[in-house]
Structure 1
C-alpha cells in the first residue's frame, strides 16, 4: 500500500507518526512550501509520476490538498482539520482516476486556526459528492496529539480491512 502524507503549514511528518503510518504501507511525505501557494495538488503528484497512491492522509493545509487530490484521483482520504473554506475546484488529469472515494475527517471543535464551522458549512454544500465520515472533538484544537493520530489512523485502516 502506498500512502501519501501531506503535512500542514510550517510542519513536517514527525518520526513517531511516520512509524505509525509505516505499519500500513510505504509512506511518501514530500516537503511542501505553502507560503507562496496553498493549493498545490498537481505539484505534489508530479513528484511521484510512477507511484499509484492507495490512500491520502493530510493535516491542515495538507488535508486541503489531500481533499483535492482524493477528489481527482478517487482515493480514500483521512483528513485532519482541513481548511476547506480555501477549496477551489482544480481539475487535472491523473493516471489513476477512479471517481470519488470515502473520506474520514477529524475536526477540532476548539481549533482556532481552522474554523470547524466553516469546514462543516463547506461539507454541507458538498454532501452529494463524496462519502464522508465526520468526527468532531469539542476539546481538540488544531494540533493532533500522537495518541489521537494513532487512534484515527487505526480506525481508518480498519475500515479498509487492515
Structure 2
C-alpha cells in the first residue's frame, strides 16, 4: 500500500508516526511550504498522480489539502482536525473533475484552538450532496496536536475499513 502523508503548516512527519504508518505500507511525505506555494493541491496531485497512492493521511492545513488531493486522486483519506472551513494561509482549490468524493475519515477535537471544529462540521454539512461518504469521530478532550495513542487508534480503524472495502 502506498500512503501519502501530508504534513501541516510548518510541520513534518515525526519518526514515531512514520514508523506506525510503515507497518501498513510505503510512506511518502513530501515537504510543502504552504506560505510560498499557493497551488499545493495541484502540485501534490500532479506529483503523485502516477505513483498509485492508495490512501492520504494528514492534519490541519494538510487536512484541507489532503481533502482535495484525495478527490483528485480518487483515494480515501484520514484527516485529523482538517482546516476545511478556513485557513491562516491562502491556498487555491483547483477545479476537480470528479463529482463524488471517495471515503474520508475525519477526526476532530473539541479543544482544538487552531482549527474550529464547528466550522469543519458546517463545511461537511454543506457538502453532503457531493461528498457524502464521511466517518466523523469527535474527541471531547482532543486539542490540535494528535497524541500518538489516538493516531495509532484512528489509523488502525481507517486501515481496517479500507481493507474491508477492497
Q: Give the TM-score of the pair, scaled to structure 2.
A: 0.88
- Provide Cα deviations, 1:62-82, integer angstroms capped at 9, x if missing partner: 111000011222110000001
Where structure 2 has 5 or more consecutive residues not aligned to the other structure, the ranges are none
Q: Which residue does the alignment assign to 2:50?
A: 50
The separation in 1 between residues aligned to 2:44 and 2:25, in whole angstroms, is: 19
Q: Which residue does the alignment assign to 2:95?
A: 91
Deviates more, 1:80-89 or 1:112-121: 80-89
Paired residue secondary structure (1:129): coil
Would the alpha carbon gap of residues 136 and 39 (structure 1) be closer, same or farther in structure 2, given more than 3 Å must change? farther
The separation in 2 between residues aligned to 1:31 and 1:144, in whole angstroms, is: 19
Aligned residues: 159
1:155 lines up with 2:154 in the alignment: no
Write out aligned runs for 1:44-123 (5 A): 44-86=44-86, 89-92=93-96, 100-123=101-124
Would the alpha carbon gap of residues 118 and 37 (structure 1) be closer, same or farther in structure 2, given more than 3 Å must change? farther
Where structure 1 has 5 or more consecutive residues not aligned to the other structure, the ranges are none
Say if 1:79 and 1:104, in contact at 8 Å, map to a contact too.
yes
The separation in 2 between residues aligned to 1:98 and 1:123, in whole angstroms, is: 15
Would the alpha carbon gap of residues 134 and 88 (structure 1) be closer, same or farther in structure 2, given more than 3 Å must change? farther
Say if 1:68 and 1:89, in contact at 8 Å, map to a contact too.
yes
Say if 1:108 and 1:141, in contact at 8 Å, map to a contact too.
yes
